[in-house]
Structure 1
Amino acid sequence: MADSEGHGRLSRLVGEPGLAGTVPVDRVVSAIASYGMWALTIGIIVFLWLPLSLIVVLSFMESSVLFPFEGVTLANYVSLFTNASLLGAARQSAIVATTSAAVATLIGVPLGFAIARRTFRGRSVLRGLVILPLLMPGIIMGISLLILFRVIGFSPGFFGTVLAHSVYGLPFIVLPVTARLAVFDRKLEEGARDLGADRSGVLKDVTLPIISPAIAAGFVFAWLRSFEDFIRVFFVGGTMDALTKEMYGMVVYSQGTEAMDPMATLIVVVVASALAVAINLRDILEYV
């Protein structure tokens, strides 16, 4: 009976055998590939989300390990919200991320328009230079900027970090903007001009609203890359308190580590909530 049921499931999966009593090979391969892709997808999801889920669980545990189980507590969150240095570092990192992402957006959007819609000498070189900060190792960029700051007499700190992160975030703005403009229907702008709109009106009422999800996507990822950066901040941050530097010091010196899991949990919740809101308002992930 079991063999009959197994044969029935296989028949439904790959189809009935052919006249010669053999199962088509392509259907077997297709079935194996389908199950393989499901297994791979589930494995990737588990690999990505299991560490995050573990951090969330540990943030409510009395011990820093799951086993042996010692109970559930909110004392870790009390330690977080009474840790003035960690909260101050998080606030400073948020300010740096917001400022650098805004600067990258103000520079990257016009630059994206120039690359996508203008033909000039050195255009391909400019496109390559824009992408370069994304490809350059963080330690190389951090060391080179530190050397540059020392040569010109610029002190590392808040403004140095904003400058470094603005350069680092520029590709995240330019790439989605140029990609969106590459498939932009220019007839929409021509129609607006035929109806009497001037150049600024077309830009404000037609072009920017259509490409705004691409701009939002670039801003979000530039903000995230700045907020979570450690290597560049380590070299150009000077004495500025940053969340990544503060958490690194907590691990090295084993001080205040009970507040780390709650802080990581709050970051996960805030980032996930921001992405959910952004996706519901405008599907920004379409342009990533």
Structure 2
Amino acid sequence: MNILVTGAAGFIGSHLSEALLSLGYHVRGIDQIEHSPYRSIKEDNLKKIMGHPEFEWLAADLLSVDLEGFVHEADVVFHLAGLAGVRNSWGPSFADYLQANVLLTQKILEACKNSSKLKKLIYASSSSVYGGGTGSYSTENSPTRPISPYGLTKLAGEQICYIYYKQFGVPYTALRYFTVYGPRQRPDMGFHKFMKAALLSQPLTIYGNGEQKRDFTYVIDLIQANISAMNYSRHGSVFNVGGIETTSVNDVVRKIERLSGKKLQITYLPEQPGDPFATSADISRARAELRYSPAFSLDEGMAEQWSYISGLYQPTKEHG
């Protein structure tokens, strides 16, 4: 099969592309690199697959490139590209989130609706569609009440997928990701920031009291959910994808202190608008229908990410 992956140079997209290639698929990856603040990291993410005979790479702005040809050649499309991050989605930045998460999704769906070859579109959604949370498990039928502009744009993307499914038969499945971590995680994400601070003995800021909880999903488990969704015969559905454990931010800090052998220098600041207090995924539907079974404990996954961060920021003489 020919598979198109948007956001292929990113944290999740690069892992997914590698997994698909290992299964023998032909993968075409598209991503915006040139103007990305994480250009060097994205380039590093692709190192393992850039020379692969079944991997085609296109560095392009998805909003401006003609996607029709790429989509029409694909049996499966994984739409992972978008603008992430709750805290940056307020104010003037909201226009960028609308472009990257809503208008781009609609553009891809327009291309998908005219494809006679497409077997599945997998849309990467987020637990942010649920809103704040109080610690109770979110099922796919829980109310979707985002508390951030980012969450709103991801929910809008889901709903646009549903519209195109109902009106044009676009065969999509949406996956709601719960706090994904692991090697190649973006520098603006929690575990990456925390581990870098520990490795380089830098001060760290935590918003809130640290007792807020997250359902942490290891990236390799998430990839398995995506591949299962690709082979899922039904369309027009949504699944939670979470991990094995729900843990507080303060517990994560203690785990990183054990990994690093250092005490983190933490400053606690007030909570930020749009940050949920707790996220917790009910994954029973994914277990039953996708045969999704997360395998990595938080300790195992964090050890893998610590190894990655240590290699990425290996202390030099200037760091002491």
Q: TM-score, normalization: structure 2?
A: 0.23
Report the TM-score when normalising by structure 1.
Answer: 0.25
1 or 2, which has the higher helix percentage?
A: 1
Q: Larger strand proportion, structure 1 or 2?
A: 2
